[in-house]
Amino acid sequence: MAVSNIKAIFENDIHKVWDIVFAVDKYSSWRSDLSKTEIINEKQFIEYTKDGYATTFSITAVEPYRRWEFDMENSNMAGHWIGVFMAKGNKTQVDFTENVMPKKWFMKPFVKSYLRKQQKQFVLDLKKALE
């Protein structure tokens, strides 16, 4: 099991940050790693990388403007994501944690660095989307 965490502070109020992160259907307009997202129902969606690789997400908890959690799975891994959002005056602090289990033994040494890279890219893309 690999766990990766990233924290960031954005110069925007919590409503704007939450609204962008929670609008899964608009991810392809600001996320540099995705080609599209597909909404299955109110509890499930699929993200497709630029190469067409699909990951399915199943929402397990939503506390608007506070917390969002989901399970995620594709052919290489299964895991859980927790996003915590905190208002800091006019700014917003996010705390994102991913807990992932690779499905292939040879991927185990690379999972944590891959998660960190993905998390950093998500935060960078989010900062640009908030500008």
pTM recorded for the entire structure: 0.93
Residue 85's pLDDT is: 98
How far out from the chain centre does Cα 31 lie? 10
Residue 52's pLDDT is: 93
Residue 1's pLDDT is: 81
CATH architecture of 2-19+59-130: 2-Layer Sandwich (3.30)
* Residues in Cβ contact with 10 at an 8 Å cutoff, skipping those fewer than 6 apart: 17, 91, 92, 93, 94, 126, 127, 130
Residue 107's pLDDT is: 86
Report CA dihedral (130, 32, 95, 77) to the nearest 10 degrees: 160
Phi, psi (degrees; rounded to nearest 5) at 98:
-115, 135
Strand order in the sheet with 91-102: 2-10, 91-102, 77-88, 67-73, 54-63, 44-49, 34-41
Count of CB atoms within 10 A of residue 105's CB? 7
* Residues in Cβ contact with 26 at an 8 Å cutoff, skipping those fewer than 6 apart: 20
- The per-residue pLDDT string of the chain (131 residues; one tens digit each, 9 = 90 and over) reads 899 999 999 999 999 999 999 999 999 999 999 999 999 999 999 999 999 999 999 999 999 999 999 999 999 999 999 999 999 999 999 999 999 999 988 888 888 999 999 999 999 999 999 99
Which of 80, 112, 108, 109 has the alpha carbon at shortest distance from 96? 80
